[in-house]
Every structure is written in structure tokens, then in C-alpha cells.
Chains A and B, each alone.
Chain A
Amino acid sequence: MTDHPGDHASLIPAEAREHQGHPAGVVSRSIAAGLDLLTVLGGLGAAYLGWSAVRFVLHTKHFSFPRPSGALLLSAYLVVAIGFLAIAWWVNGRSYGQHVMGLRVTTLRGELLSLPRAVLRAALCVCFPVGLLWAVVSREHAAVHDLLLRTIVRYDWTTRTSRDGVDRGPPAP
């Protein structure tokens, strides 16, 4: 992927170079999604604790832990998760979990997602996470949201953040 003649010298280990630019499989993507889920839940937990701390400071005598409604919890989860994923994909092409697993989300032409497409993809992923399992049977390792939004997840261990610097890898299906 980064070994084109005349390109920069690669820091990617030799055993991983052959995979760079190829569509990522379901295991790596699931691990990345799990890490993202933990991150979002961790963020929500931190927000809850922060909210509780503010309430404790403001109402020390009558302090009790807040009991948000289910709708609020669900709404907060959806907003945080969708925002977390969409902004990450729009800016960097990868969420934290994908960063850990060395994956990158791009369009089929190898470009970073636009903000609307990143938001739509994040919404699909959050609302219909089972769609990721379609990558098991798809010959191109495409999940449902990939098929709907014409995106692809590839192995990409580089850390380039420029929107022009994303390698397109092998031809997409």
C-alpha cells in the first residue's frame, strides 16, 4: 500500500505489507466495533460521573445520583456514538477502534467520507450493528452499511490524516 516506487519508505512491518489496502475481514472490524462501543460507553459513563459530580457540588445536602430515563440514555448513546464515529470517519477515516486495529473507512474510490455520508454510515452502524455480519458472507467483506453507502473498510496501518493522502489500495469491487 505504501510501497509504491518513489513513495516514502514504509514503517509497516514486512508481514503486514501484503495485506495493506485489502478489504478488512469481519473479525478485525468486530474487534474495532467492540472497542468503539467500549469507548462510547466509557464516555457516557464519564459524562454521567461528571454530571453527578456537578450535582454533588450544587446540591451537596440533597445529593443523589441522577436517574436518567431510558429515552434519555438511548438518545445520549445514539448522539454520542453517531457523533463519535461520524466525526472520526470524516476527519481521519478511522475511529479509535479502527485505529487500534489498523483499519480505515473510505469510499470505493479511496477518498475520505464526506460529513453527510459519515453521519449516515455512523447512524446505520449504531442502529443496525448486525449489518456488520454481512461482511462474513460478502465476497468483498462489505457490511450492509458499506453496500448502502458504497464505502469500504481496508487494512491501513499508516497514520496519514490528509484527505488526499489516503491510499486507495487495490481496485474496489
Chain B
Amino acid sequence: MPGDLVARRAGDPLVPPVPDVVVGAASVLLDGLWRAGQVGVRVGRPGVRLLLDPPLLPAHHHPARWVEALARRGRTDRAALLRRRDLLVAAAVPALVDYLAKHVTVTELVRRMLDLDALVADVDLDAVAARLDLDAVASRIDVAAILDRIDLTQVVTEQVDLDAVARGIDLDAVIGRVDLAGLANEVIAAIDLPEIIRESSGSLASETVRSVRMQGIDADRAVERLIDRLRRHRALRPDDGPAGSAAT
């Protein structure tokens, strides 16, 4: 083709590459075979039809019946093969997964192979949260148990600005609701003012008298302990007879 030779640029090799030639030849061959096949099918279809359904033979002796029988057998065998394949997969896959799990850390594999950030970024968390029944979730929470584990006193002490809370209290209103006169009467009745006056004005209310009284009580207790010890010692003396006899 002189035109192609003219169009070839200077410096290109004159002989085309061998792979291109082989591929082109194969393509031409396949194209020819495809066209020949189409022609063959178009020409041979009546013959094959005549061969499978010959007009002179009884219908049950037609070769088409044999072909149909073969097709049925093939369908049945294919279905059986599929079932057998499913059974084989069901038996083999768990064992295979266990085997792989022993030798491959799946978590590490997922972490290495998957971009979880990208996956999570694509998730519409708002839509997920909107579908959640938060009332049902909250109803299953044991609030009492949670409160038991929390030191509310410490939380309030550290987190709450009690001064600000106290500043917000209307003390005048609180005091206004208190019966101060009645409260004062109760306090006066409780502290027994006459008793206080008697105690504080008496000369015997001094620290000296208190000290003498307490020392007297201590001495009393000391004597009591001594006597108790002597009693026990006497009760335990073997030459005084059995211990039980002293108590009778």
C-alpha cells in the first residue's frame, strides 16, 4: 500500500511488529469463523430441524426427544451439583474462617485495609439518631444504680457554684416565712435560762469545783475497780472452794 508507506514517518521501521501482525491475523480469522458459523447456522438450521424431527418416524422415536431427555438429565445433575456445592461450602467455610482467624488478626487487617474514617464520614449519624427510640433506651437505664455509684456530694461540692446559688436565694422571703418569735421562745425554753444563770452566777461553777468533782468521780471508779478485782481474785482462789460457790 503505497499510501501507508508514504504516510509512515521517517525513522519508523519498515517491517511492522510481530505481535500486532499476529493479533491482526487472529482477529481476521475469528471474524471469518464467526461469519462462517452464522452462515452455517442459517443454512444448517432446517437440516438440523429435519434431523431432530424427521417426518416419517413416530414422535417418540424422534432424536429431539433424546435431546430433551439429555437436557432434563443435565438440569437434574446441575441442580444436584449446586446443592452439593452449597453443602461443601457450608462445611468448609467455617473451618476455613477459623483457620484464617488463627493466622490473621482480622481487626488489624480491617484497620489496615479499610479507611474507617471515610466509611464513618459517609454515615448520616443524624438520620441514625433520628431513628433511635431514645425513650425506650432511657427506660432501660437503671438510674438508681447510676446514682449509687456517683458521689453527689462531691459532684455538687466541686462542680456547683454554691455561692452563686446562695446569692440567688431570697433570704428575706425565707426569713419572712419563719416564725421568729416562736423560734426564739423555743430556744429560750430549750436552753433553760434560769439554770444557766444559776450555774454561771454560782461560785461553785468554777473550774476548780469541776475538777474536784471529776477527780472524786475518778477516785470512786478507781475504788470500784479495786473492789471488783479483789472480788474476782477471791472468787478464783482455789482454797476457797469452787469458783461457782462464791457467786451463790
Contact = CB atoms under 8 A, between A and B. Distances in A.
Interface of A: 8-9, 11, 13, 15-16, 19, 24-28, 31, 99-102, 136-137, 141, 155, 157-160
Interface string B169-203: 00000000000000000000111100110110010
B221 interface: yes
B28 interface: no
Given A16-B217, A24-B220, A100 B212 contact: yes
Contact of B213 (A101, A159, A160): A101
B219 A28 contact: yes
Contact of B191 (A8, A15, A99): A8
Interface in B32-79: none
Interface of B: 189-192, 195-196, 198-199, 202, 204, 209-210, 212-214, 216-217, 219-221, 223-224, 227
A140 to B, nearest CB: 11
Given A24-B220, A28-B219, A136-B223, A16 B195 contact: no
B191 to A, nearest CB: 5
B199 A16 contact: no
A8 B219 contact: no
Interface SS of B by simple majority: helix
A8 B213 contact: no
A25 B198 contact: no
Nearest to B213: A102
Contacts of A16: 210, 213-214, 217
Contacts of A24: 220
Contact of A137 (B192, B204, B227): B227
Contacts of A101: 212-213, 216
A15 B195 contact: no
The 6 closest A-B pairs by CB, nearest first: A25-B220, A8-B192, A28-B216, A27-B219, A102-B213, A9-B191
B172 to A, nearest CB: 29
Nearest to A159: B198
B209 A160 contact: no
A33 to B, nearest CB: 12
Contacts of B204: 99-100
Contacts of B192: 8-9
B223 A25 contact: yes
Contacts of A11: 195-196, 199
A25 B209 contact: no
Nearest to B187: A9
Nearest to A19: B217
A31 B216 contact: yes
Contacts of B219: 25, 27-28
A159 B202 contact: yes
